[in-house]
Amino acid sequence: MSTPPEKAQTEVERAVELALKNRDFRLYAGTGRSQVLPGISGAERKKALALCGYKPMKGTGDVLKKESQRQELKKKFAFMADYNRRMLAICKQRKDKV
């Protein structure tokens, strides 16, 4: 059973609102062997890390034993990609105002 796009969108919006309320502008990173910022291009990654920082997303390691883990990981990476794109735009706006 997959999550409808509207619901996923709402979850990301809620997460961004909560982060802003807590003044937490960090981006989500995967917890695998290499640091991955879903939704952020390789060229922009270093700048994004310096500007926003990052926080690890639990359950996003790269050791998968079951197909259900693979499906859950896909959902988390889609969430992180959307969240990171939105939060990076907010970080850039804040930087411009300072």
Closest to 55 in 3D by CA, of 33, 85, 35: 35
Contact between 60 and 32 (Cβ < 8 Å):
yes
Predicted confidence at residue 34, as pLDDT, reads: 81
Q: In whole angstroms, what is the distance from residue 60 CA to residue 20 CA?
A: 23
Please say if the pLDDT value at position 5 is more than 80.
no
54-90 pLDDT, tens digit per residue, is 999 988 877 777 888 888 889 999 999 999 999 999 9
Q: In whole angstroms, what is the distance from residue 59 CA to residue 73 CA?
A: 7
pLDDT band of residue 8 (cuts 50, 70, 90) is: low
| Percent of the chain surpassing pLDDT 90 | 61
